[in-house]
């Protein structure tokens, strides 16, 4: 299936100056420097992707049973961005686990080999300092029973690189530094300008939201008000991830309507790309505007042969999908992937002008399954990590409260927890790393669905679902490093989909 990748979308995005729109007299009174900054940077990383879904039942900081509503950055785009890698635990963590003797040594070795294999599979092996085979590396790391060679470990991976070595889980939900807070305020200002221009653009409101244009305009107004309040509460209502877990699992951020809390990936908080950061903040502000605005479809462009279906949603679906609120600012900045005057018609492909094809239907269904699996995998990672944070702080209360579920997760995701003797009682850093790797692996598998082939029409006795299953299985096989074998891959993915929005941690 030739569903366009988001790397392709980025390459195709034009560099264009910000066109004039309705309300220009009002805009003229704004800070001219901010508007010029938007023009100068409009070509930077032109197309970001916000495939997201709210989910709940995660453990929040200090609140074990809080229901967190999250908006997610997409799986298909983020895994290939610079600085995002699979990771390993520190040498100290591995040595401590060996010394404790609670987990069989063979299981520890299996876990490290899994993490190394995932790293080897990514970026053509460039994450490791050696091209030696994983079995050869393992022989050097564990030369004799009971021994882990820290010096050899440093020859395998850059132990000073936090994007490759997992350090402190507690740093993953942190208050913004003073410098990042200042940059975030600037990004909120840019997002505010984007919202103003969207509110004033009645033509595109109708083109994008159709019969729901008035309601969409109201949501933009509410989003603007929410940002104004958020700017004064950054210290209490915004946090980020200085352990850099988010980028590894493709999590761009989340927003919770009930508490107006926002979590941002560190590069977004720091405004590394001014336009993308502003668009991300605008996306999250849509969640803050209404509890009905969720993430039911990501920003997928049309291809020459077919559309990925994003623009074919019903007007109600578009109204309640945060990614659609990015479309008008993208058009105004000249960085959208659809035609500037494209009218979104429910059920109609932008590329063909007709109904979506069977091939596209299969692509959408496979991607939806994997998106749900990824979403649940991120929930699982965040929940496991929070229990680890509590353990780092000296408390095992959350582990005891969720022991049965944690053991179930450990078995299906092939962690080490269920192997602990005389009984499971803690979460090690390697377990957090492996969980993080599952979420990242699923996002990479989702990319590989585009390489699977599907006929123009079903061939009896096969059904649409048969083809969807084949696409998913083919993508997982092409990746090959999720669990180690197809049967366990399917079991893990199915578990995640069953627990979508209901992981329980």
Whole-number pLDDT of residue 363: 87
Q: 394 in the Ramachandran plot: left (φ > 0), alpha (ψ -120 to 50) or beta?
A: left
Whole-number pLDDT of residue 447: 87
Whole-number pLDDT of residue 413: 97
Whole-number pLDDT of residue 51: 25
Q: Please state, in angstroms and as integers, the Cα–Cα distance from residue 103 to each residue in 89, 99, 111, following that order.
A: 16, 10, 11
Integer Cα distance of 241 and 452 in angstroms: 35
Whole-number pLDDT of residue 298: 60
Residues 6+ away with beta carbon under 8 Å from 29 = none
One pLDDT digit (tens) per residue for the chain, 505 residues: 322 222 222 222 222 222 333 333 333 333 333 333 333 232 222 222 222 223 322 212 221 122 222 333 332 233 334 344 688 999 999 999 999 999 999 999 999 999 999 999 887 778 899 999 999 999 999 999 999 999 999 999 999 987 888 887 877 778 999 999 999 999 999 999 999 999 999 999 999 999 999 999 999 999 999 999 999 999 999 989 887 788 777 777 889 899 999 999 889 999 999 999 999 999 999 999 999 998 776 665 444 333 456 788 899 999 999 989 999 999 999 988 888 899 999 888 777 778 878 988 898 889 889 989 998 999 999 899 999 999 989 999 999 999 999 999 999 999 999 999 999 999 999 999 999 999 999 989 988 998 999 999 999 999 999 999 999 999 999 999 999 899 999 999 999 999 987 898 8
Integer Cα distance of 260 and 287 in angstroms: 9
Integer Cα distance of 70 and 388 in angstroms: 20
List, for residues 234-264, the tens digit of each pLDDT value: 999 998 988 778 877 777 788 989 999 999 9
Integer Cα distance of 216 and 222 in angstroms: 10
Identify whether the C-beta of residue 119 lies closer than 8 Å to the C-beta of residue 127: yes
Integer Cα distance of 77 and 148 in angstroms: 37
Residue spans per domain, the chain: 19-81+171-356
Integer Cα distance of 115 and 95 in angstroms: 16
Homologous superfamily (CATH) of 19-81+171-356 is: Collagenase (Catalytic Domain) (3.40.390.10)
Whole-number pLDDT of residue 122: 82
Nearest Cα to Cα of residue 475 among 323, 394, 339, 371: 371
Whole-number pLDDT of residue 2: 27
Whole-number pLDDT of residue 246: 80
Whole-number pLDDT of residue 299: 61
Integer Cα distance of 333 and 90 in angstroms: 44
Nearest Cα to Cα of residue 103 among 410, 392, 400: 410
Whole-number pLDDT of residue 495: 98
Whole-number pLDDT of residue 167: 83
Does 461 sit behind a cis peptide bond, omega within 30 degrees of 0 on the bond before it? yes
Q: Please state, in angstroms and as integers, the Cα–Cα distance from residue 233 to each residue in 184, 237, 246, 490, following that order.
A: 12, 6, 22, 44
List, for residues 132-163, the tens digit of each pLDDT value: 999 999 999 999 999 999 999 999 999 998 78
């Amino acid at each position: 299936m030739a569903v366009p990748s988001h790397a392709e979308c980025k390459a195709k995005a034009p560099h264009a100056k910000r066109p004039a729109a309705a309300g220009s007299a009002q805009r003229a009174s704004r800070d001219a420097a901010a508007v010029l900054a938007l023009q100068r940077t409009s070509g930077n990383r032109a197309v970001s992707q916000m495939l997201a879904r709210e989910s709940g039942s995660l453990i929040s900081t200090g609140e074990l049973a809080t229901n967190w509503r999250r908006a997610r950055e997409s799986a298909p785009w983020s895994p290939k961005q610079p600085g995002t890698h699979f990771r390993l635990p520190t040498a100290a963590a591995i040595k401590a686990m060996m010394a404790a003797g609670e987990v069989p040594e063979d299981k520890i070795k299996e876990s490290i080999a899994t993490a190394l294999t995932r790293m080897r599979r990514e970026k053509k092996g460039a994450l490791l300092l050696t091209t030696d085979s994983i079995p050869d590396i393992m022989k050097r790391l564990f030369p004799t029973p009971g021994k882990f060679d820290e010096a050899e470990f440093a020859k395998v991976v850059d132990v000073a690189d936090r994007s490759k070595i997992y350090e402190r889980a507690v740093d993953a939900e942190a208050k913004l530094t003073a410098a990042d807070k200042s940059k975030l305020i600037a990004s909120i200002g840019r997002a505010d300008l984007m919202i103003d221009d969207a509110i004033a653009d009645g033509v595109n409101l109708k083109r994008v939201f159709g019969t729901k244009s008035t309601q969409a305009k109201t949501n933009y107004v509410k989003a603007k008000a929410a940002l104004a309040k958020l700017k004064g509460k950054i210290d209490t209502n915004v946090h980020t991830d200085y352990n850099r877990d988010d980028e590894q699992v493709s999590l761009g951020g989340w927003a919770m309507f009930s508490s107006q809390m926002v979590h941002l990936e560190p590069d977004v908080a720091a405004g590394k790309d001014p336009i993308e950061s502003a668009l991300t903040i605008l996306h999250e502000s849509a969640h803050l505007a209404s509890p009905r605005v969720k993430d039911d479809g990501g920003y997928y462009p049309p291809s020459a042969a077919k559309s990925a279906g994003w623009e074919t949603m019903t007007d109600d679906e578009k109204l309640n999908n945060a990614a659609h609120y990015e479309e008008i600012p993208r058009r105004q900045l000249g960085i959208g992937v659809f035609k500037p005057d494209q009218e979104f018609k429910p059920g109609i492909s932008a590329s063909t002008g007709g109904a979506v094809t069977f091939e596209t239907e299969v692509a959408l269904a496979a991607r939806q399954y994997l998106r749900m699996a990824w979403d649940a995998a991120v929930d699982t990672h965040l929940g496991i990590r929070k229990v680890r944070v509590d353990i780092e702080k000296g408390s095992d209360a959350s582990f005891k409260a969720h022991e049965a579920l944690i053991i179930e997760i450990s078995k299906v995701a092939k962690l080490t927890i269920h192997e602990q003797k005389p009984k499971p009682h803690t979460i090690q850093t390697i377990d957090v790393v492996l969980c993080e790797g599952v979420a990242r692996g699923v996002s990479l598998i989702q990319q590989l669905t585009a390489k699977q082939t599907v006929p123009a029409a079903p061939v009896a006795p096969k059904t649409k679902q048969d083809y969807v299953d084949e696409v998913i299985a083919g993508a997982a096989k092409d990746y090959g490093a999720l669990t180690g074998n197809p049967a366990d891959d399917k079991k893990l993915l199915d578990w995640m989909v069953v627990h979508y929005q209901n992981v329980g941690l």
